[in-house]
Amino acid sequence: MISQKLQDAFNEQINKELFSEYYYLSMAAYFNTIGLDGFENFFLVQVQEERFHAMKMYRFVNERGGRIYLKKIDKPKTEFKSALEVLELAFEHEKYVSKLINELMDLAIKENDHATKSFLNWFIDEQVEEEDSMETIVNKLKLIGGKGNGLLMLDKELAGRVFTPSAK
């Protein structure tokens, strides 16, 4: 059985994961508007990943005898100045999500809930990958100056990304 504190914390985190999905959908829409289909694809895959994360937590809380309480999802930013701004915001957002996951792990440790600690290890590893992915694209955008042929080449590279749900 999951504790009330952990149940409440997971409900908050599910909301944050669903906000992330919504935020990345807004970013995908921006890229669609400016004709960068590869960047749009990258963020549409992020949308799928965030939904996957939220549902993974949803199932875990239910499996532990907890209850899901959905909350209002905040409106995401919808106007952006450039591809670089979008990726810098996404990188900052992933660092924020990492902080939230770490706080959830801290609570699981405090509650001495081994099942939750085991479950959250996957998310901690996932966040390392998420931050690295965003930072890599930010660095590439800075290297190419965020425009021109380099931007189009990066757009083509990002068009090949596909969503592959984890087996865990």
pLDDT tens by residue, 67-95: 999 999 999 999 999 999 999 999 999 99
- Whether residue 42 lies inside any domain: the answer is yes
Q: CA geometry: angle at 27 spanning 21 and 31, to 5°?
A: 140
- Whether residue 119 lies inside any domain: the answer is yes
- Count of structural domains within the chain: 1
Give one word for 54, left, alpha or beta, with left for phi > 0 and alpha for psi -120 to 50: alpha
The CATH number of the domain holding residue 102 is 1.20.1260.10
User: Domain limits at 24?
Assistant: 4-71+80-158
Q: C-alpha distances in angstroms, 59 versus 104, 125, 144, 159?
A: 16, 19, 42, 31
- Whether residue 164 lies inside any domain: the answer is no
Q: Which residue has the tokens 């952990």?
A: 6
> What's the mean per-residue pLDDT of the chain?
96
The answer to whether 62 and 68 have CB atoms below 8 angstroms apart is yes
- Whether residue 166 lies inside any domain: the answer is no
Q: pLDDT digit string (tens) for 5-22?
A: 999 999 999 999 999 999
- Whether residue 99 lies inside any domain: the answer is yes
Extract the tokens encoding 81: 């100045």
* pTM of the shown model: 0.95
- Whether residue 131 lies inside any domain: the answer is yes
Q: What pLDDT is stored for residue 168 in this prediction?
A: 63
- Whether residue 124 lies inside any domain: the answer is yes
- Whether residue 38 lies inside any domain: the answer is yes
